[in-house]
Amino acid sequence: MTAWDSASPSQPQMQSTFDERNWLAWLVKVRILILTFLLGIQLAVTRLTPARLPMRLFLSTILLWYTLSLFYVLLLSFWKEHRLQASLQVLTDLIMVSLVIHETGAWDSSLNFLYPLVIIVASILLPRVWAHLVASLAFILYGAVLELNYYAVIRSYSSTQPEPKLLQGIIFINLFAFLMVAYLSSLLVAKLREARGELKSASGALEDLQILHENIIQSISSGLITTGLNGRITLVNNAAQKLLERRPDQLLGNPVTGLFLDLLPNGESRTHAEVRFDTPKNFRKTVRVRVAPLNVPDRGPLGFLYALDDLTEIRRLEREVRLQDRLAAVGRLAAAIAHEIRNPLTSIAGSVSMLSGVPELGEEHRRLLDIVTRESQRLNGIITDFLAYSRGKKYNFEKADLVQLLEDTITLVRHRMTAESTGITIECQFAAPEAWVLADGDRIKQVFWNFAENAIRAMRDGGTLKVAIENLGNDWQVSFADTGTGMTAQQTEKIFEPFQSEFEGGTGLGLAVVYQIVQAHEGKVWARSKPGQGTTFVLRLRRLDAEREAVRTPEAETSTESLTESPWQTPPSAALARVAAEGRQRG
């Protein structure tokens, strides 16, 4: 039981050792302040009145008291028995007060008020019974000083000599005063302790409630943002910070409208809406925002509460489903009509070739025949690409190094740019010397070539193409970032659909084929772009070691055949399972 907690033997603990230590430190500071005040007052009194103060002895006593105070400061830093320290300091103060009263004239001294101060300190730092014990000890010491001075047992510094009855009256009056101070101070301290306990209990309950509410808010999976009536953010939970990819110091105090590209719902005519925003890494996300006013009874609205749900992945999957539906429809259309178009086209091209050999044709007619021939060839190229796109493709999945595939592709691209003097420079940044995946190397090179081809066409006046490989958990991410003209959001959304080329002479099937290849590799591909800020194509493929961890031995033995989707296309997971099964059979 600590000093604070002992107002009575049955009183529960209400104070920590840390508080006792603070009280002891406070006592030392107050003691030094009082000593300095007494020293100054006594020196002034000595100069103004003919007192019999033994200056050297008085100064020595004050200096000793200062020294003891400093000693207690040092003792407090390494001795953890605060109860014993408090008792020792109270007893020391009683002795030092008795010495000072003796030196300042005993019954003539005006410093006997120091005893009540020591009693009050004892009632604060020690159990309640100690206040009465200290009062009794103060009475004994004070009476002893007066009696010893009166009967000249020790040297007296008083200027008067009271009658015996007056001396007894002074002693017993102080006894009554000491006991009353002990009683009242201990009673008051007990009430303060009781009030402090109740306050501490209420504060603890309030703190627990606040912690519970905060934990609930921080644990909610939806992002929560609160604002004042001025629209500035006052609170952001962990989910909102993660969704927005910003720290609290980047959000608190800023307008909530500045975070989003679209108008937020106002809580009146609109309570929810889908809005977009750009993360610090320039990645655009879509969120659903619901708003509600923060109302407090009898005070009205104090602000607004915004709930955020991430719809980015859902919208991406919806776009992929729509794109796959469109691609499937285009594939079926291509298979149905490509041959029907190619046969008459071949006849037209043969007829035009025969006509071009007629000697009677003039220059104008020959020029028209050349145009027909070129357009026939271009149309034949489109149909060839169309057939290649619509037919099933055979993939040869093997262990492949993305770094080597990229270097081979970039070498060819550099030779081409040097020959054509495009003014484009290529910067490479590879996070690892090797990036192993399970893939068809030739098809992945085709993907890289298409990315580079689109970047070169977008930078007609020169620029920089940055090619990078990053290690993202279980995936390798390859990015091609150009400094070209960029695209609008609508163009970016449809970039992998057939016949969406924005470049002169393009068939619009290159990126559609890229999408097919990436889907066959169970990877992801997307584009990020803004008008005038260039375009970044991103390819993400599963790392080879992550693929191996994903394929478990029993699953590989039982589901190898079921993972093969068609004789023309085997996904990487099925290929890896087949390799593992064959290895076990050989073993």
pLDDT, residue 480, reads: 94
Are residues 405 and 517 in contact, defined by beta-carbon separation less than 8 angstroms? no
Find the angle CA(281)-CA(470)-CA(409) to the nearest 5 degrees: 115
Q: What is the mean pLDDT of residues 517-543?
A: 90
Residue 280, H or E segment? none
Highest averaged pLDDT of the listed ranges 321-330, 353-362, 367-376, 527-536: 527-536
What is the arithmetic mean of pLDDT over 28-34?
Answer: 78
What is the SS3 assignment for 145-211? Answer: HHHHHHCCCCCCCCCCCCCHHHHHHHHHHHHHHHHHHHHHHHHHHHHHHHHHHHHHHHHHHHHHHHH
Strands 463-472 and 475-481: antiparallel
Per-residue pLDDT tens for 548-585?
A: 666 554 444 333 333 333 333 455 655 555 545 544 44
**What is the CATH architecture assignment of 220-310?**
2-Layer Sandwich (3.30)
Say if residue 323's pLDDT is above 80.
Answer: no
How far is Cα 561 from Cα 291, in angstroms, rounded to an integer? 51
Alpha-carbon separation of residue 571 from 120, 287, 326, 405, 554 (angstroms): 86, 33, 22, 19, 19
Q: Is the pLDDT of residue 408 over 70?
A: yes
Tokens describing residue 194: 């009781």
State the pLDDT at residue 167: 83
pLDDT value of position 16: 42
pLDDT band at 17; cut points 50, 70, 90: very low
DSSP β-ladder status, 463-472 and 424-430: parallel
| Residue 121: closest CA among 109, 135, 111 | 135
When pLDDT is averaged across residues 32-59 and rounded to a whole number, the result is: 75
Q: Is the pTM of this model over 0.85?
A: no
> DSSP letter string over 442-456?
HHHHHHHHHHHHHHH
Asked whether 357 and 351 are in contact (CB, 8 A), the reply is: no
Q: Which range among 48-57, 202-211, 403-412 has the greatest average pLDDT?
A: 403-412
pLDDT of 485 over the 80 cut: yes
| Amino acid 558: pLDDT | 36
Half-sphere exposure of 17 (CA within 13 A, CB side): 9
Residue 439's DSSP bridge partners are 398
**For 204-234, what is each residue's pLDDT tens digit?**
888 877 777 778 888 888 888 888 888 899 8
| Exposed e or buried b per residue across 205-226, where buried means at least 16 C-beta atoms within 10 angstroms of its C-beta | eeeeeeeeeeeeeeeeebbbbb
Strands 284-296 and 300-310: antiparallel
* Alpha helices for 235-360 (secondary structure H): 238-244, 248-251, 312-355
479 neighbors 470 (Cβ within 8 angstroms): yes
Quickly count: other Cβ atoms within 10 Å of residue 131's Cβ: 30
Average pLDDT, integer, range 259-269: 83
- State the average pLDDT for the chain: 79
Residue-level pLDDT at 5: 41
Among the CATH numbers 3.30.565.10, 2.60.120.10, 3.30.70.270, 3.90.660.20, which is that of 398-550?
3.30.565.10
**Residues paired with residue 290 on neighbouring β-strands, in sequence order:** 272, 307
The token pair at 466 is 């940055």
| Structure-model confidence comparison of residues 521 and 359, the more confident one | 521
- In this predicted structure, what is the pLDDT of residue 405? 92
Give the residue-averaged pLDDT of 14-40: 69
- For the cut 80, the answer to whether the pLDDT of residue 59 exceeds it is yes
Task: Point out the least confidently predicted range of 142-156, 287-301, 385-399.
Answer: 385-399
- Closest by alpha carbon to 237, among 334, 322, 307? 307
Q: Give the range among 11-20, 138-147, 491-500 with minimum mean pLDDT.
A: 11-20
Average pLDDT, integer, range 143-171: 84
Among 490, 486, 426, CA closest to 452: 426
More confident: 395 or 567: 395
Taking the C-alpha atoms of residue 568 and residue 553, their distance in angstroms, rounded to an integer, is 25
Domain parsing of the chain, residue ranges: 17-202, 220-310, 316-390, 398-550
Tokens of 38: 């007494």
pLDDT band of residue 162 (cuts 50, 70, 90) is: confident
Tell me how far apart the alpha carbons of residues 313 and 286 are, in angstroms, rounded to a whole number.
9
- pLDDT at position 160 is 80
d(CA 501, CA 94): 98
For residue 377, what are the CA distances in angstroms to 33, 205, 211, 435? Answer: 104, 83, 74, 40
| CATH code matching the domain that covers 316-390, chosen among 3.40.50, 1.10.287, 1.20.58, 1.10.3470 | 1.20.58
Q: What percent of the chain has pLDDT over 90?
A: 10
Token pair for residue 71? Answer: 């000693």
| pLDDT of 546 over the 80 cut | no
479 CB-contact burial (10 Å; exposed 0-12 / middle 13-18 / buried 19+): middle
Is residue 547's pLDDT more than 80? Answer: no
Higher per-residue pLDDT: 353 or 484: 484
DSSP 516: H
Q: Which among 305, 307, 290, 308 has a CA at the least distance from the CA of 229?
A: 305
* Residue 576: per-residue pLDDT: 56
What is the C-alpha to C-alpha distance for residues 481 and 427, in angstroms, rounded to an integer?
10
Kindly state the helix (H) or strand (E) to which residue 542 belongs, with its residue range. Answer: strand 535-542
pLDDT band at 315; cut points 50, 70, 90: confident
* pLDDT tens string 423-463: 889 999 998 899 999 999 888 998 999 999 888 888 888 89
d(CA 104, CA 102): 6
Looking at residue 50, what is its pLDDT?
A: 64
The per-residue pLDDT for 448 is: 92
Q: What counts of helices (H) and strands (E) characterise the chain?
A: 17, 12
Residues ≥6 apart with Cβ < 8 Å to 257 = 231, 263, 264
Structure tokens at 542: 């599963």
40-44, 99-103, 163-167: which has the minimum mean pLDDT? 40-44
- What is the C-alpha end-to-end distance of the chain, expressed in Å? 73
Phi, psi of 500 (to 5 degrees): -110, 20
DSSP helix/strand/coil, 244: helix
pLDDT score for 12: 40
Neighbours of 76 (CB within 10 A): 17
